[in-house]
Amino acid sequence: MKLFLDTANVDQVAEIASWGILDGVTTNPSLVAKEGKDSSSNSLQAFKETVLKMCELVPCVSAQVTETEFEGMKKQADEYSSWHKHVVVKVPMTVEGLKTISYCKGKGIKTNCTLVFSANQALLAAKAGATIISPFIGRLDDAGQDGMGLIAEIMTIWDNYDFDTEVLVASTRNPRHIVEAGEVGAHICTIPYGLFIKLPKHQLTDIGLKKFQDDWNKVKS
């Protein structure tokens, strides 16, 4: 399973990439805004610089379009994809988004269909030619639905057909989400920084390491 970092912060990408296990980054307008920038045209240059720095660190960086009509999304897809070969254009799951994904497929532009909340949406995005689809499991859980159940449902459908589209588990909120994504065979998990840095840790690892060090110090003295 590939692991992506869900962030618009380049320092966080550099830190996790230095572990040698990071496969990509997902950004979205909310994450960009959190870093003090927005995705409007007057800060497009800043967004581009951020994306380009990330592209030097990882092989796959999702950059989300902010237009909502096909013509606008198409232009943004053309622009973003011209920045770097590692850019994946993130497109929302709407009818206009499907047209954009289909257009991108025809032009060889990689896409990540975001805001997927149902198996039918996943199916349509795959048929349109999305490189990646992003079901948001945490937000489904928040709404009283079964987020991981949706991933399992999508993986069952994928088992029946020949889709190349990778299933990315988005809106992860806790370490069990990563384990369960692996259990159902999801291709990718995107993980926020605060959750990512918890993953290498275990209390028994810390206790075990301290004991090894204490015992070694006894041998040395």
State the residues that interact with ligand G3P by CB under 6 A: 6, 26, 28, 136, 138-139, 170-171, 190
Contacts of 95 (CB under 8 A, 6+ apart): none
In the complex with ligand G3P, the residue whose CB is nearer, 48 or 139, is 139
Within 13 Å of residue 190, how many CA atoms lie on the same side as its CB?
Answer: 28
In the complex with ligand G3P, the residue whose CB is nearer, 50 or 171, is 171
Written as six digits, the tokens of 179 are 């384990």
Q: How far is CA 162 from CA 75, 85, 126, 134, in A?
A: 30, 25, 10, 18
State the residue for tokens 């459908």.
157
Catalytic-residue membership of 90: yes
In the complex with ligand G3P, the residue whose CB is nearer, 139 or 187, is 139
State the residue for tokens 């198409």.
74
Residue nearest to ligand G3P (CB): 171
Closest CA to 136 of 198, 196, 199, 190: 190
In the complex with ligand G3P, the residue whose CB is nearer, 24 or 78, is 24
Question: Shortest gap between Cβ of 26 and ligand G3P (angstroms)?
Answer: 5
State the residue for tokens 């025809």.
106
Within 13 Å of residue 57, how many CA atoms lie on the same side as its CB?
Answer: 26
Question: Shortest gap between Cβ of 206 and ligand G3P (angstroms)?
Answer: 28
144 and 125 Cβ atoms separated by less than 8 Å: no
Question: Shortest gap between Cβ of 30 and ligand G3P (angstroms)?
Answer: 6
Question: Shortest gap between Cβ of 169 and ligand G3P (angstroms)?
Answer: 9
Written as six digits, the tokens of 161 are 């057909």
**Alpha-carbon gap, residue 21 to 189, rounded angstroms:** 12
Q: What is the largest CA-CA distance in the chain?
A: 73
Question: Shortest gap between Cβ of 168 and ligand G3P (angstroms)?
Answer: 8
In the complex with ligand G3P, the residue whose CB is nearer, 103 or 136, is 136
- Out of 37, 74, 90, 110, the active site residue is 90
- Point out the residues that are catalytic: 90
